Amino acid sequence: MSSLLSFENVSKVFPGVRALSGVSFEVRAGEVHGLMGENGAGKSTLLKVLGGEYQPDSGRVMIDGRDVRFACAAASIEAGVAVIHQELQYVPDLSVAENLLLGRLPASHGWFSKPRVVALARARLEAMGVDLDPTMNLRKLSIAQRQMVEICKALMRNARIIALDEPTSSLSHTETEVLFRLVRQLKRERCALIYISHRMDEIYELCDACTVFRDGKRIASHADLKDLPRATLVREMVGREIADIYRFRPRKLGDVRLSVAQLVAKPLTQPANFQVRGGEIVGFFGLVGAGRSELMHLVYGSRRKQGGSIRLDGATVRVDSPRAAIRHGIVLCPEDRKEEGIVATASVADNINISCRRHSLRAGVFLNRRKEAHIADGFIRQLQIKTPRRSQKIRLLSGGNQQKAILARWLAEPELRVVILDEPTRGIDIGARHEIYNVIYQLAERGCAIVVISSELPEVLGVSDRVIVMREGCIAGELSREAASEQAVLSLALPDRANPAAHGVIPAA
Amino acid sequence: MQTNEQMSHAGAAGAGGLTAGRPAEPASFRQPLAEYSLVLIFVVMFVAMSFGVEHFFSIDNMLGLALSVSQIGMVTCTMMFCLAARDFDLSVGSTVAFAGVLCAMVLNATGSAVIAVTVAVGAGCAIGFVNGAVIAYLRINPLITTLATMEIVRGLAFIVSHGQAVGISSERFIAFGNLTLFGVSMPIWVALACFIVFGVMLNNTVYGRNTLAIGGNPEASRLAGIRVERVRVTIFLVQGAVTALAGVILASRITSGQPNAGEGFELNVISACVLGGVSLLGGRASISGVVVGVLIMGTVENAMNLLNIDAFYQYLVRGAILLAAVLLDQLKNRGERS
């Protein structure tokens, strides 16, 4: 059987990153092809090449054996490709019918007739066997229904190649079933489907074949999933040798510093309990959306708690704002450096001093410029922040150096007790990583309780004394450094449908 | 692209550096050029007018020019904080009128200038507080909020005065507006004091730096422990107070509280800020730029009057200047935020 879609030696390089290197694989008509791999393995880049958002640097994309080259997203749609991203593209205040026909609304001499649009949409929805009211505004629909609209939109453009990027990440169990029915129907209609998911069960349930990516390379393709052991897939996904870039240093652990008890709030599906000892580094692992960042923002006071208590060195503390947290010695390096970390318009020095300057004021109001300069210069030297001068705008620095400046912001606090780092090395090159790990160890040696959230499994295993795994809004388990193997951590992190305990608690969209 | 980025960066850094008193640091050649581009424009303009416009370059005319921009100058200082924090305030023109009317009425009723000024400034604070609280805590768009309060406060000014100008009979109060020190009249001194106080506040106090941080990135500021809402309310509150004071001074100068005073005032103030390199996207402001912005506005207006240009055409020129200012801001920001 010939393939409907094939990639041949496709490469894509971004400054400093080889996002795809020489990727080849094919999808046949009537096949659901799973793509697996860790975050950053290259799956999304591949979909963007397919969708015409990126142009490959080398290699070919072929549909029906013919070379295609999409200069833009419209060209890809024209060729019968539909890429449905995790972030859906729709207009919330237009009706289902208008969304379905957006850009191609039927009109006569520029006059648009609503009944006609609705009738047309209704006819097509019925033909596809989808039960949706075409007059309903998208804002009023559930996430799953919006996704359905997105897929229908693709079908109305007569798409034959449909790619879905983690479509179930925000769907409930029943919504997932609806989606699966539609996918199977598309399969019967001889479409070629690409299906990206982190959830093993879905891949086994839905896909005919699958391809594993790692570091922008195709690691393996499996034409038949029936007799393929899960362990093989997991090994292929994550099984790189952990070169020791972590240089883990064991240390003596102190008493319990941070103790979180029965924390209840919106995205958490169960009350959260955990403790971190002085000098201990606890890694938090979980899939995207497992609630790790949200839990830490609750601890930091930047999200509102509905109940539960936080104790520091045995004493209960009230943390209802980041300001309160900082005054208790709890600090957080946020996940999204650009949106939540740096003040792009300000200088490196201002970014470092933004919080600690309250300790160096003159007469309680006036800045002590000399002291601030001294602090900034000290950290620029100590952390080797590469900047021509302290008054340089921070936005002109590389990601790694921005991250170091944010670390410096917290290192400048005189009484640090708990340091929470959310994805501290995301998008950061190896050299800067070393330095960031070193800072983490130094802080731990000073007796801080440290939480490291990371989606990179090797990193979590490399730096942590203990690993806490989150799954679907709750803490799924806890492993000591010795017990924390990749398989053990992953099996806790991946939602397993066979495990009813994990599935009573699907987070609300 | 690269050049643009460097230029804009240099402009931003430079403007702050003028009054910041940071130690000298090595800089590229382009940096000082962008830093002083505004000053340069102003100097060129000033020299050209001194030669080209009769009666322009004289002590009397200079003092007149300064007096004419003194109220705008005061409010520009606080508007700079407002814009720097990524906020916006359209209500200042109405506040000027309301404060003037209120001051005149209280003055006529009580005969005490102290009470009159206190009441007027208090009312300004209240207006500012309402603006700030609605914007920061109820999270209503600042443009809409202050558009609404602009209408409301203007309405209040007409209601309390029954639509009539309120004449001021107190000789002492009128004399207060005409006080001079070293030949320079009081409103100019007040404006100068505002420039100095707010300049120091922007560059040398936590409040000023937090304002810039909030405008640059509100979420990061919150996570860095800044009480974002409180700072924003304070900015509006101070703006209300200073604006009301400007309204009182205006009333004293024109010896009456006029309910229709200060129409278009808010736009002049914002124009002066933008002309002075304050970014409407927040996070970037400098007091030196704002001073130059105010002076450019005043100089152009003054020269047009001296040249007897029809008032109708002056609207065109003012509009053109505002457009030019926004374009300048756009050019400066190019490459900064995509």
- Per-position DSSP letters for A229-270, written without gaps between them: -HHHHHHHHH-----S-S--------SEEEEEEEEE-TT-SS
Q: Is residue A35 located within the same domain as residue A83?
A: yes
Option in B13, B21, B213 nearest A354 (CB): B213
Domain harbouring B54, CATH code? 1.10.3470
C-alpha to C-alpha distances, B127 to B5, B131, B135, B241, B283, nearest whole angstrom: 39, 6, 12, 9, 24
Q: Answer yes or no: is pLDDT of B338 > 60.
A: no
B253 occurs within a structural domain? yes
Q: Is residue A497 located within the same domain as residue A431?
A: yes
Q: How confident is the model at residue B333 (pLDDT cuts 50, 70, 90)?
A: low
Range scoring the smallest mean pLDDT among A99-103, A483-487, B266-270: A99-103
How many other CB atoms sit within 10 Å of the CB of residue B109? 11
Q: Answer yes or no: is pLDDT of A328 > 70.
A: yes
Q: How confident is the model at residue A170 (pLDDT cuts 50, 70, 90)?
A: low
Biggest CA pair distance of chain A: 81
> Cα-flanking dihedrals φ and ψ of residue A218, to 5°?
-80, 125
Record: contact B283-A365, CB cut-off 8 A: no
Q: Answer yes or no: is pLDDT of B27 > 50.
A: no
Q: Answer yes or no: is pLDDT of B84 > 80.
A: yes
Q: What is the pLDDT of residue B26?
A: 41
Q: Answer yes or no: is pLDDT of A224 > 90.
A: no
Mutate to test the interface with A, among B28, B223, B230, B234 (most CBs of A within 10 A): B223
Biggest CA pair distance of chain B: 63
Q: How confident is the model at residue B5 (pLDDT cuts 50, 70, 90)?
A: very low
How many other CB atoms sit within 10 Å of the CB of residue A2? 9
Question: Which residues in chain B are contacts of A357 at CB distance < 8 A?
Answer: 206, 209
Q: Answer yes or no: is pLDDT of B141 > 50.
A: yes
Q: What is the pLDDT of residue A172?
A: 66
Task: Give the rounded percent of residues in chain A with a pLDDT score beyond 70.
Answer: 91
| Residue scoring higher pLDDT (B328 or B96) | B96
| Residue scoring higher pLDDT (B53 or A448) | A448
What's the gap in Å between the CA of A339 and the closest CA on chain B?
7
Specify the number of domains making up chain A. 3
Q: Give the long-range contacts of residues B38-43, CB within 8 A, separation 24 or more.
A: B38/B275, B38/B276, B38/B277, B38/B289, B38/B292, B38/B293, B39/B288, B39/B292, B41/B296, B42/B292, B42/B295, B42/B296, B42/B299
**Residues A316-340, mean pLDDT to the nearest whole number:** 90
Q: What is the pLDDT of residue A491?
A: 84
A37 occurs within a structural domain? yes
Across the beta sheet with A307-312, the strand order is A272-277, A256-264, A307-312, A315-317
A368 occurs within a structural domain? yes
Distance between CA atoms of residues A403 and A144, nearest Å:
36
Record: contact B213-A326, CB cut-off 8 A: no
Q: What is the pLDDT of residue B147?
A: 93
C-alpha to C-alpha distances, B16 to A181, B85, B94, nearest whole angstrom: 61, 15, 31
What's the gap in Å between the CA of B284 and the closest CA on chain A?
7
Q: Is residue A262 located within the same domain as residue A230?
A: no
Which of A414, A447, A478 is the endpoint of a domain? A414
Q: Is residue A292 located within the same domain as residue A354?
A: no
Q: What is the pLDDT of residues A172-222, one digit of tens each?
A: 667 778 788 888 888 888 889 999 887 777 888 889 999 988 878 888 888
Q: How confident is the model at residue B132 (pLDDT cuts 50, 70, 90)?
A: very high
| Residue scoring higher pLDDT (B209 or A434) | B209
Q: Answer yes or no: is pLDDT of B334 > 60.
A: no
> Tokens at residue B129, please?
């507080």
Q: How many residues are listed for chain A in this entry?
A: 509
How many other CB atoms sit within 10 Å of the CB of residue A54? 18
Q: What is the pLDDT of residues B218-254, one digit of tens each?
A: 888 888 888 999 999 999 999 999 999 999 999 988 8
Residue with tokens 């949706």: A132
What's the gap in Å between the CA of A282 and the closest CA on chain B?
22
C-alpha to C-alpha distances, A114 to A135, A416, A428, B22, B135, nearest whole angstrom: 9, 62, 51, 64, 38
Distance between CA atoms of residues A133 and A141, nearest Å:
10
Q: Is residue A24 located within the same domain as residue A102?
A: yes
Record: contact B223-A373, CB cut-off 8 A: no
Option in A341, A367, A393 nearest B209 (CB): A367
Q: How confident is the model at residue A466 (pLDDT cuts 50, 70, 90)?
A: very high
Domain that holds residue B57: 2-12+39-333
Q: Is residue A309 located within the same domain as residue A288?
A: yes
**Residues A284-296, mean pLDDT to the nearest whole number:** 86
What's the gap in Å between the CA of B337 and the closest CA on chain A?
9
Q: Is residue A380 located within the same domain as residue A508?
A: no
Option in B9, B203, B206 nearest A358 (CB): B206
Question: Which residues in chain A are contacts of B212 at CB distance < 8 A?
Answer: 343, 345-346, 350
What's the gap in Å between the CA of A30 and the closest CA on chain B?
41
Record: contact A409-B224, CB cut-off 8 A: yes
Option in B205, B217, B219 nearest A367 (CB): B205
Q: Answer yes or no: is pLDDT of B35 > 60.
A: no
Option in B206, B224, B226 nearest A365 (CB): B206
Q: How confident is the model at residue A504 (pLDDT cuts 50, 70, 90)?
A: very low
Amino acid at B304: M
Distance between CA atoms of residues B333 and B7, nearest Å:
10
Q: Is residue A226 located within the same domain as residue A85?
A: yes
Residue of A nearest to B25 (CA): A389
Task: Give the rounded percent of residues in chain B with a pLDDT score beyond 70.
Answer: 85
Q: Is residue A403 located within the same domain as residue A425?
A: no
Which of A199, A219, A238 is the endpoint of a domain? A238
Question: Which residues in chain A are contacts of B83 at CB distance < 8 A?
Answer: none
Specify the number of domains making up chain B. 1
Record: contact A302-B222, CB cut-off 8 A: yes
Question: Which residues in chain B are contacts of A300 at CB distance < 8 A?
Answer: 223
Q: Is residue A209 located within the same domain as residue A318?
A: no
CB neighbour list of residue B16: distance below 8 Å, 6 or more residues apart: B203, B284, B285, B286
Option in A302, A366, A391 nearest B13 (CB): A391
Q: What is the pLDDT of residues A342-373, one digit of tens each?
A: 998 899 999 999 988 888 888 888 988 899 99
Question: Which residues in chain A are contacts of B337 at CB distance < 8 A?
Answer: 344
CA pseudo-torsion sign B320, B322, B324, B330: negative
Option in B5, B212, B336 nearest A346 (CB): B212
A291 occurs within a structural domain? yes
Question: What is the pTM for the complete model shown?
Answer: 0.70
Q: How confident is the model at residue A119 (pLDDT cuts 50, 70, 90)?
A: confident
**Residues A264-270, mean pLDDT to the nearest whole number:** 88
Average pLDDT, chain A: 83
Q: Answer yes or no: is pLDDT of B24 > 60.
A: no
Interface of B with A (CB under 8 A): 5, 9, 12-13, 17, 20-23, 25-26, 203-207, 209, 212-213, 215-217, 219-227, 279, 282-284, 336-337
Option in B23, B216, B279 nearest A346 (CB): B216
Task: Give the rounded percent of residues in chain A with a pLDDT score beyond 90.
Answer: 23
A335 occurs within a structural domain? no
> Cα-flanking dihedrals φ and ψ of residue B257, to 5°?
-95, 120
Q: What SS3 class is residue B182?
A: coil
Q: Answer yes or no: is pLDDT of B13 > 90.
A: no
Question: Which residues in chain A are contacts of B17 at CB distance < 8 A?
Answer: 391
Q: Answer yes or no: is pLDDT of A506 > 50.
A: no
**Residues A437-449, mean pLDDT to the nearest whole number:** 91
The answer to whether A302 and A294 have CB atoms below 8 angstroms apart is no
Q: How confident is the model at residue A429 (pLDDT cuts 50, 70, 90)?
A: low
Q: Is residue A90 located within the same domain as residue A21?
A: yes
DSSP line for A115-153: HHHHHHHHHHHHHHT----TTSBGGGS-HHHHHHHHHHH
Record: contact B216-A323, CB cut-off 8 A: no
Record: contact B205-A344, CB cut-off 8 A: no
Q: Is residue A83 located within the same domain as residue A228?
A: yes
> Cα-flanking dihedrals φ and ψ of residue B320, to 5°?
-60, -40
Residue of B nearest to A345 (CA): B216
Q: How confident is the model at residue A505 (pLDDT cuts 50, 70, 90)?
A: very low
Least Cα distance to A281 among A325, A242, A319, A251 occurs for A251
Exposure string over A441-457, b if 16+ CB within 10 A, otherwise e: bebbeebbbbbbbbbbb
Average pLDDT, chain B: 82
Q: Answer yes or no: is pLDDT of A228 > 90.
A: no
Q: What is the pLDDT of residues B164-207, one digit of tens each?
A: 888 888 877 777 777 777 878 888 999 999 999 999 989 888 88
Record: contact A347-B13, CB cut-off 8 A: yes
Exposure string over A269-305, b if 16+ CB within 10 A, otherwise e: bbbbebbbbbbbbbbbbbbebbbbbbbbbbbbbbeeb
Least Cα distance to A27 among A78, A61, A75, A71 occurs for A61
Question: Which residues in chain B are contacts of A323 at CB distance < 8 A?
Answer: 225-227
Domain that holds residue A455: 242-329+416-509
Which of A377, A398, A414 is the endpoint of a domain? A414
What's the gap in Å between the CA of A507 and the closest CA on chain B?
25
> Tokens at residue A460, please?
């979590």
A336 occurs within a structural domain? no
Q: What is the pLDDT of residues A34-59, one digit of tens each?
A: 988 766 678 888 888 888 888 888 88
B223 occurs within a structural domain? yes
The answer to whether A63 and A4 have CB atoms below 8 angstroms apart is yes
A77 occurs within a structural domain? yes
Mutate to test the interface with B, among A293, A328, A342, A343 (most CBs of B within 10 A): A343
Domain harbouring A247, CATH code? 3.40.50.300
Q: What is the pLDDT of residue A143?
A: 73
Record: contact A393-B12, CB cut-off 8 A: yes
